[in-house]
Amino acid sequence: MIAAVAAAALLAAGGCGDTLCNARVLDPFFAKLSQAGDRTRGRRPVHILQIGDSHTAGDTITGGWRDILQGRYGSGGRGVLPPGRPYQGYLTRWATAEMSPGWRVSSLFGAGSAPPRPMMGLAGFSITSTAPGARIALTADANEVFDRFTLCAASEPDAGTLTIAIGGRTERMVLDSPSARPECKTIVADQPQTRVEVTADDGPVTITSWATFRDSGGVVLSNVGVVGSQLVHFARSDDAVLAEELRSYRPDLIVVEFGTNEGFSPIFRPQEYEITLRTQIGRLRRIAGNVPILLFGAPDAMTRRRELLANAPGPTPAFCAEPAATPAPPPVAVAAVPPQPRPSLEGVAGVMASLRASEGLPDAATDAAPVAAVVAPPAAARAPPRGPCARAARYSRRPVSPPCGRCSAASPHR
């Protein structure tokens, strides 16, 4: 991703390079980034918001990107996080999240995703108190101190009250409301802080996300992802919650990272995925306004599951042969993804055929500027290697991403 973003700064007007298309879409973001080093007190940091699956939730790529940007421009805080500790093994980078008993976790995908679901937004998780005194807390490391804290929750009939304690100061967030609606509350501190505690005083309360920022320039990179999710699951989030959170968090760049779990589905239909992709990109544009969007595709991967070898149209890749090494395929140019009315399956098939035959889509954009796109859409899974390559693929149900002869285990597919 770092290389792709760097390429955006170098590409000429709007064309496709080896890794990035429609780079000029990102010009407003780079204009703000060029001023991020101004550490004037009261200046909002440049905010990058990435949503996606486990690659985002795990914060490996985003964490490295954050470290580089904050090392150059300074830290703007830890950014948006799911509330509490939404699942076992949840890890945060440069911050520690705590959650007491007395909370029920809901999510867009996996455990806790069965309807009826409470309000859910960018984080893909919500937590609902089941007992008075239930508490969550966030402690930031020294390099991610903050002076602005935002908590987003659901106001609804018979909802309880939240108490927010930060820097010796206590504020209450009353959520009882005649009608259901999302609400975000922001607290600005006089001095940098490292810890905030939130307590459910009485009645059930639902929290959708929380965030920390430092208003003295710099960069903040928020990573919110749901392990195992697909883009279609993001559609389960509530428009009203997204709108309220985006209004409060004000991202300068939205990164959309999905595709791995789509590629590992038992059946993958490219036409249906394109419809989902266009629909959700259009939805984000409608809700977020003119915020630039960077579309980040899935990497190549391998699998031990034979049912995945024919999960998409096209020829089945051959096994990796020994001793000769199969060279890596040439890079694939990614077409721009202009917004369109919802197409029929026949229309999508025509677009997909055109994509295969050329390097761009023939249809003109119908509303806002196109999305910047990185890497390729999800492809059919490949067969596991044999011989020495097999040693890197001995993790049950985990993809491996070397070309043959370059064995290296990829992140676990969950």
Helix intervals (H) in 74-206: none
| pLDDT computed for residue 16 by the predictor | 53
**Given this model, what pLDDT does residue 314 score?**
65
pLDDT, position 370: 61
Residues 6+ positions from 329 with CB-CB distance below 8 Å: none
Question: How many whole angstroms separate alpha carbon 126 and alpha carbon 38?
Answer: 35
- What is the model's pLDDT at position 233? 98
Cβ(180)–Cβ(118) below 8 Å: no
- SS3 of residue 294 by DSSP: strand
CB 193 within 8 A of CB 164: no
Q: At a CB cut-off of 8 Å and minimum separation 6, what does 17 contact?
A: 7, 11, 23
What pLDDT is attached to residue 300? 77
Low-confidence ranges of the chain (pLDDT < 70): 1-19, 314-370, 374-414
Helices (H), 37-168: 54-57, 60-73
Which residues lie across from 202 on neighbouring strands? 161
Angstrom distance (rounded) from CA 402 to CA 384: 10
**Residue 98, SS3?**
strand
